[in-house]
């Protein structure tokens, strides 16, 4: 069995919805199990789960042009794993959600790439086709991101935003990362 963990922070539920969409994509790949972990629930058992994972997908809202402080707290705590390069050669991926169309989301994804490289992980980009009409809520990857997944949510409750196609974009990314993890785990 291949294991994929999704570790995310969400202050108000929007990024949590994206994380759930990623998880549904992972779960759709035969022979792959998912673990959805909020950084606010991390405990000793979480580190064991992450040690056994073939892939770890990082998720955070973009706050003040970067990953949230809660996510960063998790990242800093992972320095104990870094000392022994415990995540070396695992697959890595990432997603972020924010209010503005850009909102400097790329900074968050680029931070995730750096974080993954510090751990010796292997990054998987989104490879989602570009939207024909960028910004159109009826299109996949309307934000136009290939480093990882970017979704946009309005200033409204998480049960109505981000839109369905953004969540589908996240779901497809879950499939992609799970398939890579499955190949890697043989």
Ligand X SMILES: Cc1cc2nc3c(=O)[nH]c(=O)nc-3n(C[C@H](O)[C@H](O)[C@H](O)COP(=O)(O)O)c2cc1C
Give the residue among 8, 66, 60 at the shortest CA–CA distance from 39: 8
Neighbours of 82 (CB within 10 A): 16
Q: Is 148 in the site for ligand X (CB under 6 A)?
A: no
E strand residue ranges, the chain? 2-8, 32-38, 55-63, 66-67, 91-98, 122-123, 149-152
Nearest distance from residue 80's CB to ligand X, in Å? 26
Residue with token string 């990314």: 173
Within 47-106, the residues that bind ligand X by CB under 6 A are 61-65, 97-100, 103-104
User: Considering beta carbons, is residue 43 or 155 the nearer one to ligand X?
Assistant: 155
Cβ pair 100, 152 in contact under 8 A:
yes
Is residue 11 part of the contact set for ligand X (CB under 6 A)? yes
Closest to ligand X by CB, 55 or 150: 150
For position 142 contacting ligand X by CB under 6 A, the verdict is: no
Number of residues that bind ligand X (CB under 6 A): 18
Interface residues with ligand X (CB under 6 A) are 10-15, 61-65, 97-100, 103-104, 153
């Amino acid at each position: 069995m291949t294991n994929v963990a999704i570790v995310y922070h969400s202050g108000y539920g929007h990024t949590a919805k994206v994380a759930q969409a990623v998880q549904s994509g992972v779960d759709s790949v035969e022979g792959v199990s998912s673990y959805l972990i909020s950084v606010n629930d991390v405990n000793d058992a979480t580190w064991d789960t992450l040690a056994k994972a073939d892939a770890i997908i990082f998720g955070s809202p973009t706050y003040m042009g970067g990953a949230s402080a809660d996510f960063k707290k998790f990242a800093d705590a992972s320095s104990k794993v870094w000392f022994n390069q415990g995540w070396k050669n695992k697959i890595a991926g990432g997603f972020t959600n924010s209010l503005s169309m850009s909102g400097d989301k790329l900074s968050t994804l680029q931070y995730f790439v750096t974080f993954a490289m510090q751990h010796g992980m292997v990054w998987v980009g989104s490879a989602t086709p570009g939207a024909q009409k960028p910004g159109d809520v009826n299109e996949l990857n309307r934000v136009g991101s290939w480093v990882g997944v970017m979704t946009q949510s309005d200033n409204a409750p998480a049960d109505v935003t981000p839109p369905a196609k953004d969540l589908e974009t996240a779901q497809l990314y879950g499939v992609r990362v799970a398939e890579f993890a499955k190949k890697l785990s043989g």
